[in-house]
């Protein structure tokens, strides 16, 4: 009953000033979505700004820890934090190269997809993370080839699309022949995502339609927060939001649909990298023969795994090493102990974490210098209290009350 109640709350838009219950929800995620995309007029986002001005919105939505894509998106569709839903990072710790949390079977709690199906409704999704094998009626999931992240997105994903033949149907009736070029992360993939979602909305009218735009994240990683390439990407995504909105209208669903636009994390311009495992090598904790403890770097954070999970002496030793660093290194991070990790719903498997300072990224390297200058680009993965790690939220349409700002919001909400 809990999962049905959760979906009902979404469909009926449990916010102040409810107008008319919605029969459809279109949930749009923009990877790397920042509130300034719709709050700052210098960003060319007329569709996002129109939605914001006609509905409810937030100036900051706290992410999860670490603030990365897959745990964040799983929190959005479960209402659970990573420590409970089981998707701790983008890829499982110790996984082979290229193996990420692709399959929905990794999720330990009920999802919106489960709730929709149990309620006798239909769902669709395009490029939503952790949805391979999910009970979604019309699904183009995220899947890439193990050991080769640059492999052909379309060819690798086709075996996991449901129903079988959906892509061929889209090609015949809407998109034309799709090729590898339609899935490049230079904005073409977001055009394809928008077209696919619009086709599903127009043709099948699912009760819940979720889609995930990806290139704003790629561009911010490569160029930093406010580069021209990021502006171009965000403008392109906004134009595809417009295409999706038109498809809702064309399908005759404008008066019965709630549109939600949100994201997974913000972005920080990076200046230096920190390699905590180099310290562990220097202290003989990591050797060619054995690894007694190791950090997993996740951008704006790092998580400590112990060979023996209950080895309190080793935890104390690593803590002492970190606390004994000179000030110029010690100021680059804050230690997050196990009790704090429990409080914020983070990975239960680790002994501690490091929350990096603004502009500092942690990696998993065990060789080289402890601190290195980093040439440009941006990152995420930071602790949720870092302002620039916040994402955004807009809700408009059926079931949404008067225009106002929502405060104190997290993506779990």
Report the pLDDT value the prediction gives residue 240, as an integer from 0 to 100.
98
Q: Do the beta carbons of residue 297 and residue 64 sit within 8 Å?
A: no
Sequential pLDDT tens for the chain (413 residues): 344 344 444 444 444 444 567 899 999 999 999 999 999 999 999 999 999 999 999 999 999 999 999 999 999 999 999 999 999 999 999 998 889 999 999 999 999 999 999 999 999 999 999 999 999 999 999 998 766 666 788 889 999 999 999 999 999 999 999 998 999 878 799 999 999 999 999 999 999 999 999 999 999 999 999 999 999 999 999 999 999 999 999 999 999 999 999 999 999 999 999 999 999 999 999 999 999 999 999 999 999 999 999 999 999 999 999 999 999 999 999 999 999 999 999 999 999 999 999 999 999 999 999 999 987 899 999 999 989 999 999 999 999 999 999 999 999 99
Cα dihedral 351, 78, 191, 395, rounded to 10, equals -120
Cα–Cα nearest to 55, from 367, 399, 411, 340: 399
Report the pLDDT value the prediction gives residue 124, as an integer from 0 to 100.
98
Q: Do the beta carbons of residue 313 and residue 321 sit within 8 Å?
A: no
Q: Which runs of E-coded beta strand occur in 127-242?
A: 138-140, 208-213
């Amino acid at each position: 009953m809990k999962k049905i109640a959760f979906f009902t709350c979404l469909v009926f838009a449990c916010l102040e000033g409810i107008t008319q219950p919605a029969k459809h929800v279109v949930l749009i995620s923009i990877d790397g979505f920042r509130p300034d995309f719709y709050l700052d007029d210098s960003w060319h986002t007329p569709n996002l700004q129109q939605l914001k001005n006609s509905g409810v919105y937030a100036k900051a939505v706290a992410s999860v820890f670490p603030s990365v894509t897959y745990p964040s998106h799983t929190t959005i569709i479960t209402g659970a934090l990573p420590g409970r839903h089981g998707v701790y990072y983008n890829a499982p710790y110790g996984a082979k190269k290229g193996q990420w949390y692709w399959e929905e079977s990794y999720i330990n709690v009920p999802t919106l997809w489960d709730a929709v199906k149990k309620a006798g409704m239909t769902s669709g999704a395009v490029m939503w993370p952790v949805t391979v094998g999910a009970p979604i009626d019309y699904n183009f999931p995220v899947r890439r080839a193990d050991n080769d992240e640059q492999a052909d997105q379309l060819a690798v994903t086709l075996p996991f699309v449901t129903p079988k033949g959906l892509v061929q149907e889209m090609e015949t009736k809407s998109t034309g022949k799709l090729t590898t070029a339609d899935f490049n992360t230079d904005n073409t993939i977001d055009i394809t995502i928008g077209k696919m979602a619009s086709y599903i909305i127009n043709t099948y009218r699912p009760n819940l339609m979720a889609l995930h735009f990806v290139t704003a994240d790629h561009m911010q990683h490569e160029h930093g927060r406010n580069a021209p390439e990021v502006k171009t990407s965000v403008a392109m995504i906004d134009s595809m939001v417009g295409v999706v909105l038109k498809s809702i209208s064309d399908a005759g669903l404008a008066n019965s649909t709630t549109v939600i636009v949100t994201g997974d994390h913000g972005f920080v311009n990076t200046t230096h990298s920190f390699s905590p495992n180099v310290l562990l090598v220097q202290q003989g904790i990591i050797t060619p023969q054995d690894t007694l403890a190791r950090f997993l770097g996740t951008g704006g954070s790092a998580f400590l795994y112990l060979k023996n999970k209950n080895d309190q002496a080793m935890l104390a030793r690593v803590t002492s090493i970190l606390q004994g660093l000179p000030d110029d290194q010690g100021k680059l991070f804050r230690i997050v102990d196990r009790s704090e990790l429990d409080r914020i719903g983070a990975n239960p498997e680790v002994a501690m974490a490091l929350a990096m300072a603004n502009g500092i990224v942690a990696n998993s390297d065990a060789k080289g210098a402890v601190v290195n200058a980093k040439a440009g680009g941006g990152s995420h993965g930071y602790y949720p209290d870092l302002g620039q790690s916040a994402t955004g939220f807009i809700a408009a349409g059926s079931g949404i009350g008067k225009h106002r700002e929502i405060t104190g919001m997290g993506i779990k909400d």
